[in-house]
Amino acid sequence: SQQGEEDPQALSIQEGENATMNCSYKTSINNLQWYRQNSGRGLVHLILIRSNEREKHSGRLRVTLDTSKKSSSLLITASRAADTASYFCATRAPEYGNKLVFGAGTILRVKS
Amino acid sequence: GAVVSQHPSRVICKSGTSVKIECRSLDFQATTMFWYRQFPKQSLMLMATSNEGSKATYEQGVEKDKFLINHASLTLSTLTVTSAHPEDSSFYICSARDLTGSFGNTEAFFGQGTRLTVV
């Protein structure tokens, strides 16, 4: 079964609103990463958070990590139409040979 | 950040033919590259790990004779889909990992992807 599961599967919001996506995983991890993918394109790295970190910020992005609950969240504040994309969490875990294992992804649509 | 260039971005081929996809790391040397497959509206599934100068390591269920991987230099890995069938149609993405820390907290860089359509 997949290491990472994300919810919601799809999210539709108005421009200016905040978007929150969640990711849960099963094993202990070295780090967790969030990526964005525009339709039919490659992946863009957003943020990496290590297992000993609890929160990281990058511009309008805020990522939290709760290792006790094996979960992470990605918050995009003041969303823009250009944020419309699929967002994936990915974990690097010893149990998976430290390979990058992706969650199912959340499709975000920001309406202008 | 670093650039990983994947070529071609789109390819259409006939059933039974072979298709080669290239993945190049432009800013760093990658001893290890990764090949993923992505079906529509689904996540990325790791197919294989490409190791420079040695054989690739394939994930369970991936046919190594079907998906030939060559990693002949520190900046180039190729994936060849042999005897392609319509069910091989998919989006293929490569990734190269930088272990030097030269690019801050970004450790994996992805190519733009290749949309393969087998007709």
Confidence (pLDDT) at B27: 83
Separation in Å, CA of B83 to nearest CA in chain A: 24
Q: What mean pLDDT is predicted for residues B81-103?
A: 88
- CB-CB: which of A45, A102, A107 is closest to B106? A45
Alpha carbon of residue A103 to chain centroid: 8
Q: CA-CA distance, B100 to B106, in Å (whole number)?
A: 10
Best of A89, A100, A106 to disrupt the B interface (most B CBs within 10 Å) is: A100
- Nearest Cα residue in chain B from A44: B110
With a CB cutoff of 8 Å and minimum separation 6, the contacts of A59 are none
Per the CB < 8 A criterion, the answer to whether A99 and A44 are in contact is no
- CB-CB: which of A33, A41, A102 is closest to B43? A102
Confidence (pLDDT) at B24: 95
Best of B11, B33, B39, B44 to disrupt the A interface (most A CBs within 10 Å) is: B44
For residue range A41-99, what is the model confidence (pLDDT) as tens digits? 889 999 999 999 999 999 999 999 999 999 999 999 999 999 999 999 999 988 888 78
Confidence (pLDDT) at B29: 86
For residue range B3-24, what is the model confidence (pLDDT) as tens digits? 899 999 999 999 999 999 999 9
B39 in contact with chain A, both atoms CB, cutoff 8 A:
no
Tokens of A31: 């780090």
Q: CA-CA distance, B91 to B105, in Å (whole number)?
A: 26
Confidence (pLDDT) at A20: 97
User: Is it the case that residue A35 has pLDDT exceeding 80?
Assistant: yes
Q: How far is CA B113 from CA A2, B10, B14, in A?
A: 22, 8, 20
Confidence (pLDDT) at A1: 43
Q: CA-CA distance, A72 to A18, in Å (whole number)?
A: 16
- Enclosing H/E stretch for A106: strand A106-111
B111 in contact with chain A, both atoms CB, cutoff 8 A:
yes
B10 in contact with chain A, both atoms CB, cutoff 8 A:
no
φ/ψ of A82, rounded to 5, equals: -70, -10
Output the DSSP codes for chain B.
---EEEE-SEEEE-TT--EEEEEEESSS--SEEEEEEE-TTS-EEEEEEEETTS--EEPTT--TTTEEEEEEETTEEEEEE-S--GGG-EEEEEEEE--S-TTTT--EEE---EEEEE-
Q: CA-CA distance, A103 to B42, in Å (whole number)?
A: 9
B93 in contact with chain A, both atoms CB, cutoff 8 A:
yes
Confidence (pLDDT) at A67: 96
